[in-house]
Amino acid sequence: MASALGMTATLAGCGGSGGSSEVTLKLVAADYGDSKANSSQRYWDKLAKEYEADHPRVRVEVSVYSWTDVDRKVKEMVAADDAPDLAQIGAYADYAAKGELYRVDDLLSIPVQANFVPQLTDAGETDRTQYGMPFASSTRLLFYNKTLFSQAGLTPPQTWSELAADAKALKSEGVKFPYALPLGPEEAQAETMQWLLSGGGGYTDDVGTYSIDSPQNIKTLTWLKDELVGKGLTGPVAPAKLNRADAFSAFTRGDVGMLVGHPTLMQKAAKKGVKFGMVPMPGIDGRAKATMGVADWMMAFRKNGHGKQLGDFLNFVYDDKNVLAFSREYDLLPVTASASEAMAADKNEQDLGPFLDQLPSSVLYPVGKTSWAGISADVKKQIARAVSSGGSPTGVLGKLQITATTQDSAA
């Protein structure tokens, strides 16, 4: 269905009926599947076919790309003056800042707008105007290997000191990665944010100003450096070299005692026969007050001027039936309140319950800042040095803060 990449076609009326036009909406989307059998292309093709059946003058052409390529692909299309009508990708702020996107309230009905989970609505705003529509979300929990914990006589940790003690006991039992700390370039910004939140900090303060070198954040990374990495409790691969995908694979092999994970890890571990449990992230003196939430975004480009058709199609996309179908297919959390309630009430979805419970207290990346993409890239490159031997949490966080402040002011 995605071969034409969506030029708008104006067709002459047939059989003497006055003129009529057929609009083709071009959608570029990310692939959440891990094989051709469960590619997101199948989901979107089915959805487009259902929509077109009731809207014969609208065609929806979908091109699905891997996460490695999709953001770059959309950027190249926009630069070539060939923006898609819709993009379902990882970030929206740069396009919003350049005036290239429709406002959400110009597209969606009021009931659909009001139905988004509040945290996700807030994260979709730039300068108090919503341009990003949340499309998929997840939260994080601490996964632990029940077999390894049982063999070591352990219970899941609720505090940092308990986590360190459990990791020490697991190491003495010969566990390869007592706590897997993936600070490699794949997703270091996520592992870092989860730990910063558990220490009462984060990338920004309560009013949205970067606070990367806050006392709480320095304390968190210092603890990680001294109590986990420095004591050899994070395994044989240095955190700077360990990517999330590799840490997940090690968990599914039974080589990891504990790590932070999202819903898709459940399915991967279950397929490998790993018995696991999940608990909220430990904090300094008890369970962390906040967890990390992640959302991917849908955005509508103004260039082709199909506002009416885009709004109608998007209202269909965000119908509960469709939101739930996508979330269930890929072990993700629904982005609407009503679909979240339906999932929570479904006895067949109870394994996602702990992640749903975390969503109301979740904190998302500051994606509404155009500077965030650059800061996130800097975190990926630099943060592991803060917890390495001879590293300086104060120094690394201080440099990141200077860069963040400078880039935010420029933006």
**Alpha carbon distance 92, 124 (integer Å):** 8
DSSP 174-242: T-SEEE----STTTHHHHHHHHHHHTT--SB-TTS-B-TT-HHHHHHHHHIIIIIITTT-S-SS-GGG-
Residue 6 lies in a domain: no
Integer Cα distance of 86 and 51 in angstroms: 15
Regarding whether 123 and 217 lie in a shared domain, the answer is no
Q: Tell me if 11 is assigned to some domain.
A: no
325-360 burial: b if 16+ Cβ within 10 Å, else e: ebbeebbbbbbbeebbebbeeeeebeebebbbebbe
Q: Which of 89, 117, 116, 180 is nearest to 362 (CA)?
A: 117
Q: What is the per-residue burial (b if ≥16 Cβ within 10 Å, else e) of 10-42?
A: eeeeeeeeeeeeebbbbbbbbbbbeeeeebbbe
Reading the block at residue 44, the tokens are 């979107």
Same domain, residue pair 224 and 357:
no
Taking only the tens place, the pLDDT of each residue in 147-199 is: 999 999 999 999 999 999 999 999 999 999 999 999 999 899 999 999 999 99
How wide is the angle at C-alpha 364 spanned by C-alphas 359 and 366, nearest 5°? Answer: 160
For residue 28, being part of any structural domain is answered with: yes
Domain co-membership, 126 together with 149: no
Find out whether 248 and 265 touch, Cβ atoms under 8 Å.
Answer: yes
Q: What is the pLDDT of residue 382?
A: 97
Give pLDDT tens digits for 227-236.
999 999 999 9
Statement to judge: residues 134 and 163 lie in one domain: no
- Position 13 scores a pLDDT of 32
pLDDT at 54 exceeding the cut of 70: yes
**pLDDT value at 18 more than 50:** no
CA 139 to CA 362: how far, in whole Å?
A: 7
Model pLDDT for residues 57-69, shown as the tens digit of each residue: 999 999 999 988 9
Which tens digit of pLDDT belongs to each residue from 266-307?
A: 989 999 999 999 999 999 999 998 999 999 999 999 999 999
Number of structural domains in the chain: 2
| Residue-averaged pLDDT of the chain | 92
User: Are 334 and 136 spatial neighbours (Cβ–Cβ below 8 Å)?
Assistant: no
Same domain? For 235 and 350 the reply is no
Q: Check residue 262 and give left, alpha or beta (phi > 0: left; psi -120 to 50: alpha).
A: beta
The tokens describing 34, both together, are 């891990």
Residue 105 lies in a domain: yes
Q: Residues 229, 308: one domain?
A: no
Structural domain range at position 220:
141-280+371-410
**CATH number of residue 345's parent domain:** 3.40.190.10
Confidence band of 9 (pLDDT split at 50, 70, 90): very low
Report how far residue 381's alpha carbon sits from residue 359's, in angstroms, rounded to the nearest whole number: 28
Nearest to 310, CA basis, from 125, 84, 94: 84
Q: Are 249 and 392 in the same domain?
A: yes
- Do residues 131 and 237 share a domain? no
* C-alpha to C-alpha distance for 245 and 161, rounded to whole angstroms: 27
Same structural domain for residues 132 and 151? no
pLDDT(410) > 90: no
